[in-house]
Amino acid sequence: MAELEQRRILKTEIPGPRSIELMARKSGAVARGVGTTMPVFAVGAGGGVVVDVDGNSLIDFGSGIAVTTIGNSAPRVVAAVRDQVQLFTHTCFMITPYEGYVAVCEQLARLTPGDHEKRSALFNSGAEAVENAVKIARAYTKKQAVVAFDHAYHGRTNLAMALTAKSMPYKFGFGPFAGEVYRAPMSYPFRDGLSGEAAAARAIDVLDKQVGVDNLACIAIEPILGEGGFVVPAPGFLPALAAWAAEQGVVFIADEIQSGFCRTGDWFACDHEDVVPDLVTTAKGIAGGLPLAGVTGRAELMDSVHVGGLGGTYGGNPVACAAALGSISEMETHDLAARAREIGAAMHSRLTALQERHAVIGDLRGRGAMMAIELCAPGTTDPDPVRTAAVSAYCHQQGVVTLTCGTWGNVFRFLPPLSIPDSLLEEAFDVVAEAFAATA
Ligand code: PLZ
């Protein structure tokens, strides 16, 4: 596809007539449970825009939920996928393996936190990676209890749902859930005002007294909450938890599915505090939009599973692996971690100005190009999901793809692709500012 013009273009109302037609077809063919954030159908995307069937060019502030970090159809991904697809599309790594899978695991060993000996296994989705990380931790420790945190999101499969905190829409009506899953309090500076050390002590007390360390196989944590509201734990929280886990022989799993691969201005969110997890789950940004996920961890832990104990028909599909290698090369060549920091600084200054004008913005937080504002009744922490939805709807109508998140649906999150030009970034924030003014 020819390079897309990097401009916001509104040719019709949003949604336009062809999207409306397609939405009607969707209702007749696609299960209702599969919702959409915007009622527009895409035909192209790249740089910082998504183009719809009516010729509208929308500014992308979502990256397909933190997936197309390097931009849609990035040149190295397109080339790598095209080459691979002409050679072979699938043999199944468990039948006749291929080099791409091994090469991705070598890259994961190199890039994930810590310079210890590592091994990886590849899967199709984030949820599958999380499930496998828990399987591996249980096999290694021969213990069963698993701890997740308040506001956590780890996926939609049964065990991942059990680990996920929020009922509607993720868990509602879908139980019973996997057993031996416990929940600990997360550090949420805006709401609990605790230091990292104090929040860690509070969580550790739950692990110790309510779960019992002798039962505890692993704790799984997002180093920055994703769906739960882009909460950055207070400094010291993650290091204290990781140190406690290491002392107690509990496997520390960092779910970097949303925060990984340059999004936060470093390779992984754990890198900001030099936290070295025992296991890291990755997906989303790893392969520029192709489905791929991984579990990477200490060699002795990963290799404690019997031969044949890990796998799946498509896990580490050759086309997805080629895309991942192209994607990583794109990140390194263009130093996209630095670009994420640059975008983060620009977003921070625009959002600070916005917060000064609108008391409804209670908190501004995030790292790099993973930034959010939390909307609350002025001067309180009472969530304001209604205003959040109104601001978001305004942005959508004006051609900016924005996403919300948070346990109370009152967090507005910003996840632009790192390929977005500065001009579009500024224009999208002009629209966000208008949206706040128009909905006041
Ligand atoms: N762990 C930290 O962010 C996926 C969910 C979108 P899958 N987050 C987006 C939705 O509503 O389904 C996610 C995540 C973290 C795990 C997952 C799950 O990854 O690839 O969606 O299975």
Long-range CB pairs of 427-430, under 8 A, 24+ apart, other chains included:
427/8, 427/59, 428/8, 428/59, 428/61, 428/395, 428/400, 429/347, 429/350, 429/351, 429/354
Mutate to test the pocket of ligand 1, among 128, 134, 154, 170 (most ligand atoms within 8 A of CB): 154
- What's the CA-to-centroid distance between 257 and ligand 1, angstroms? 7
Give the atom of ligand 1 at the shortest distance from the alpha carbon of 255.
2
Q: What is the mean pLDDT of residues 121-143?
A: 98
Q: Is the pLDDT of residue 262 over 90?
A: yes
Ligand 1 — pocket residues by CB below 6 A? Answer: 65, 125-127, 130, 153-156, 222, 226-227, 255, 257-258, 283
Residue 2: what pLDDT?
A: 60
- What's the CA-to-centroid distance between 42 and ligand 1, angstroms? 21
Give the atom of ligand 1 at the shortest distance from the alpha carbon of 283.
20
Q: Is the pLDDT of residue 417 over 60?
A: yes
Give the atom of ligand 1 at the shortest distance from the alpha carbon of 293.
20
Residue 3: what pLDDT?
A: 86
Q: What is the mean pLDDT of residues 251-280?
A: 98
Terminal Cα distance for the chain, rounded: 41
- Strands (DSSP E) contained in 256-392 are 279-282, 293-298, 361-367, 370-375
| CA dist list (Å): 354 to 89, 384, 431, 432 | 48, 16, 12, 9
- What's the CA-to-centroid distance between 258 and ligand 1, angstroms? 7
Q: Is the pLDDT of residue 1 over 90?
A: no
Give the angle subtended at the CA of 267 by the CAs of 248 and 196, to the nearest 5°. 45
Q: Is the pLDDT of residue 437 over 80?
A: yes
Q: What is the mean pLDDT of residues 371-399?
A: 98
- Residue 239: CB atoms within 10 Å: 17
Q: 244: closest CA among 200, 297, 182, 291? A: 200
Q: What is the mean pLDDT of residues 153-171?
A: 98
Q: What percent of the chain has pLDDT over 70?
A: 100
Mutate to test the pocket of ligand 1, among 132, 224, 258, 279 (most ligand atoms within 8 A of CB): 258
Mutate to test the pocket of ligand 1, among 224, 284, 411 (most ligand atoms within 8 A of CB): 284
